Structure 1
Amino acid sequence: MNHLFRLLPSMDRVLAHLESGPHMADFAHVPRPLVREAAQAFLDGLREEIKAGLVADEASLSWDTLASRIACFARSFVRPRFRRVLNATGVVVHTNLGRSVLPESAVTAVIDACRHYSNLEFDLATGQRGSRHSLVESLLCQLTGAEAAIAVNNNAAAVFLVLESLCKGREVVVSRGQLVEIGGSFRVPEVMAKSGAILREVGATNRTHLRDYEAAIGPDTAALMRVHTSNFRMIGFTKEVGLDELCALGRERALPVIEDLGSGTLYDFAQAGLPGEPTVRDVVAAGADVVTFSGDKMLGGPQAGVIIGKREHLDVIRKNQLARALRLDKMTLAALEAVLRLYLDPAIARREIPTLAMICATPKELADKARRLARTLKRSVGAHFEVSVRPGASRVGGGAFPERDLPTSLVCLYPLDASLKVDDLRERLLHTDPPLVGRVEDGRFCLDPRTLTIPEFTLAASALALAASGNHC
């Protein structure tokens, strides 16, 4: 074993190979401490392999054998941890893959916000200090019919800020069937507890009546609340109180009604054959006093939590000191404004906002796109895979429309090399640059063109070629 340790290349030789050898272009703009860290990690890994008996002969440690391994390892090591991913899963609002993709106008707005000074908190009309909240408030009010609006850094923050501002130390009446947990262990009861509001559950798990709310209202009641159940649905013998009824009760008892929409939408997806999700404007028109929803889900914008509603309540929320802690940065505000502007014309929004365009893509469009992807893959990797097209299903994601599939066409690949298993292929594709994420169905690796752009087809083909050859790193 000691003899094998003495065969390991020196740190200087490894660094020289990376920084002045044939791979120098890959590391020319990488900080030297990071390249050195990569080299050290590679050598440490070799030592562990020797100790474990995985390397037991001199040939495995020859420079000719190690040179390509060093470069491959180092390239992978120095890549940014936050990276682009090719989403071929067919899940449009993919929580793990960054949720919504921004439209080009929003990307441009973010770049401008980063590259230049701006009027973030400067009133150009008066030359005095301004409020960043005003930059999107008028647009939100115009699009939703609300009297006032404020945006914070996500919907959990929005719910927390509303409850802490309006209900702290008092009771909030909520149906037991709406006390859900969504992704990331976000639990409505726990957020309410953190805000200082006191949860008052009413009804049974599957059925809640208006009389349950009426019986729960007392001198300590601060608000009535409805929570969108996101990716959870109950079917069968169920009942929930409608927003119209609850708002009527709120007006009768002089109590605000808070509606947490979760994945709120400004676009009526009934036009795309997805009925059942109320728009934010519908909820405001029904009488909700305060409404919260996400900016990066069905809205198709950046991560944000939007609070809209009656001015008397929004003024209280805006003055809460926590509003500063939860406020949006300039890049997010720039992106959010750009996305909201597109909604002024629903046809433009459907065309320009990637989330809407992907959800509303027709089966024929997707079939044409799948055939085009299949042709690209057959030209590039047809020698490695059997490529076929078959019907399949996509998902909206982000907790929206959980019970509805979106018809699509899948491009399915089966390795012709018997030694390459489909699960191994999926694993290898996680290490290509960029990684390609798809799904395995019926023993095939499947790509859904709904969530791949046409320019990404060649990137997907390159990733598959690397994975098939075993040269991924």
Structure 2
Amino acid sequence: MAEAAVSPLRHLPSVDRFLRHPDILVLVERYGRAETTQAVRETLAAVREEARSGVGIDEAMITASVLSRLAARAGPRLRPLFNLTGTVLHTNLGRAILAEEAIAAATDAMRQAVSLEFDLAGGKRGERDDHVRALVCELTGAEDATLVNNNAAAVLLVLNTLSQDKEAIVSRGELIEIGGAFRMPEIMARAGARLREIGTTNRTHARDYADALCPETGLILKVHTSNYRIEGFTAEVGARDLAAIAHRHNVPLVNDLGSGTLVDLSRFGLRKEPTVREAVEEGADLVTFSGDKLLGGPQAGFIVGRKDLIAAINRNPMKRALRVDKVRLAACEATLKLYRDPDRLAHRLPTMRFLARPAEEIRQQAEHLLPVLADALGGDVVADVVPCRSQIGSGALPLDTIASFGLSLKPEGGGRAVEELSAAFRRLPQPVIGRVAEGALVFDLRCLDDEACFRQTLLSLRYGGS
């Protein structure tokens, strides 16, 4: 009996013999001997367990399993996907999609040596900030500019430079928490600044700032509350008035815009956000903002403002730890240059293109895709075109939404069936990410650029009877 139970194992090839199989030799050539050997060992171990349960041994299936393991190990963990969540700047999905000009510039920087810190005119060491400094100043009206790897780093560096072991005055209504539970008071503490809270959550007055100023004051920090809004019985001091208070006491005013924008968003039908140029003109000594949110570029944090303060920031040893690499710098430069032609910005910069898409155009796209999606899903899912609301995301204009259209997918059974349907779309070669609302999986099509690729991806869908 025991002999009969283990007899299938006699037909199981050894690792060495299997590695000499012609189909496996092809995999060795493609993936390398070490990786292929590991995949063969893992596969044979799994087959051995199955054989003990009486499952037959099929060498073709073993080879296919080895190939599947190798392909999975070699594939990227950071996978391209379709963002159909309705959130244009989705933090979990990589925020801004770069313009083709930025992608080309980044590719060139990766492919060859570049003049990152080399002055071609003088033949001496240069500064990497020089590649974007003049451009940023041109677009913002600032005296000088520098950049680091994100806006949290920009705020950290400014606080450490100007307010280490000193007080930083902030309104209680502006002590925000950003993504990942990072809170402004904690960033200030890490920077070595002592938080001086003033006012109340909903009301802060000019006298609160004036009363808090003392010889221990390092700076006044104004934080643009872009990721929430307090309404009702409220009061805050405007940036221009705050600048006057700060300058009367010879204290720098730092205005953290968070997302930051270089153009008036109202031209795209959105509520107006303060632009970086306006913040500079209102008298802020330094302004900080992000590169990968409303600006539509790669992850970066910009610091613009007074030349003497930027010089002090660049002398801070922390600057080296927070600087950007050549790839990001190249992409930043290319993105910023697009702002020199604001009339074509919505066509060339994906973030602005998505935000500016007319709802009627999206509705027509949804109508075209409805029969394709219904055919891919079969009769177990009811598919409809539905109106929906998109949002900007990444903390920008959280209460403002944009009219859009999407595809609503309601499987029979609801509840768990919706989750299974969502999982089926996540398993596609290029996953499709939507949102679950009111018992349906909804795909907001505002950010669907490549419709042909989406149609091709649907051919791999496996769900229910489809």
Question: If the length of structure 2 is used for normalisation, what is the TM-score?
Answer: 0.90
Q: Deviations over 1:302-329 (max 9, x none)?
A: 1111000011211111111221221111
* Whole-angstrom CA distance in 2 between matches of 1:170 and 1:77: 51
- 1:20 and 2:14 aligned: no
**CA distance in 2: counterparts of 1:12 and 1:232, whole angstroms:** 62
Equivalent position of 2:31 in the other structure: 30
Structure 2 residue 453 is the aligned partner of structure 1 residue 459: yes
In structure 1, the residue matched to 2:322 is: 326
Contact 1:381 1:461 in 2 (8 A): no
Q: Could you say which residue in structure 2 is the equivalent of 1:251?
A: 247
Deviations 1:348-386 (A, max 9, x none): 222101011101111122112222333543565566754
Please state how far the C-alpha of 1:463 moved relative to its aligned partner.
Answer: 3.8
1:202 pairs, out of 195, 198, 202, with: 198
- Determine whether 1:398 maps to 2:394: yes
1:143 pairs with one of 124, 135, 139:
139
- Corresponding residue for residue 358 of structure 2: 362
**Gaps in structure 2 of 5+ consecutive residues:** none
What SS is found at the alignment partner of 1:274?
Answer: coil
Residue 302 of structure 1: aligned partner: 298
Deviations 1:59-80 (A, max 9, x none): 3765566665554444333312
Identity of aligned residues (%): 42
RMSD over equivalenced CA pairs, Å: 3.1
Which residue of 2 is the match for residue 268 of structure 1? 264
Q: Letter of the aligned partner of 2:23 in structure 1?
A: S
Residue of structure 2 aligned with 1:154, choices 146, 150, 153:
150
Post-superposition shift, 1:9? 6.5
- Whether contact under 8 Å (1:393, 1:405) holds in the other structure is yes
8 A Cα contact 2:8 2:54, kept in partner: no
Question: Structure 2 counterpart of 1:20, which letter?
Answer: D
Select the residue among 195, 210, 228 that pairs with 1:214.
Answer: 210
Equivalent residue pairs, number: 462
Q: Distance in 1 between matches of 2:159 and 2:337?
A: 29
In the alignment, the residues of structure 1 paired with residue 79 and residue 189 of structure 2 have an alpha-carbon distance, to the nearest angstrom, of 36
Alpha-carbon shift at residue 437 of structure 1 (Å): 1.2
1:206 is matched by which residue type in structure 2? Answer: N
Q: Does 1:185 align with 2:181?
A: yes
Q: Which residue of 1 aligns with 2:116?
A: 120
Residue matched to 1:410: 406
Question: Whole-Å Cα distance in 2 between the matches of residues 256 and 432 of structure 1?
Answer: 52
- SS state of the match for residue 80, structure 1? coil
Aligned to 2:462: 468
Determine whether 1:97 maps to 2:98. Answer: no
Amino acid in the other structure paired with 1:412: S
Paired residue secondary structure (2:460): helix
Deviates further, 78-87 or 377-386: 377-386
For structure 1, which segment, 192-201 or 7-16, has the greater mean C-alpha deviation from structure 2 after superposition? 7-16
Paired with 1:444 and 1:28, the residues of 2 have a C-alpha distance of 46
The letter of the residue matching 2:124 is Q
Whether 2:224 is the aligned partner of 1:223: answer no
- The counterpart of 1:436, out of the listed 432, 451, 462, is 432
- Cα distance in 2 for partners of 1:244, 1:46 equals 72
Q: Secondary structure at the match of 1:446?
A: strand
Tell me the distance in 1 between the aligned counterparts of 2:329 and 2:8. 55
The alpha-carbon distance between structure 1 residues 239 and 37, as it changes in their structure 2 partners (threshold 3 A), is farther
CA contact (8 A) 1:394 1:450 kept: yes
The one-letter amino acid paired with 1:146 is: A
Return the match for 2:288 from 281, 286, 292.
Answer: 292
Shift in Å, 1:171: 0.5
**CA distance change for structure 1 residues 426 and 376 in 2, over 3 Å: closer, same or farther?**
same
How much does 1:284 deviate? 0.8
1:233 corresponds in structure 2 to 229
Q: Is the 8 A contact 1:140 1:149 kept in 2?
A: yes
**SS of residue in 1 equivalent to 2:201:** coil
Deviation, structure 1 residue 157: 1.0
Residues 438 and 249 (structure 1), Cα distance of their counterparts in 2 relative to 1, 3 Å cut: same
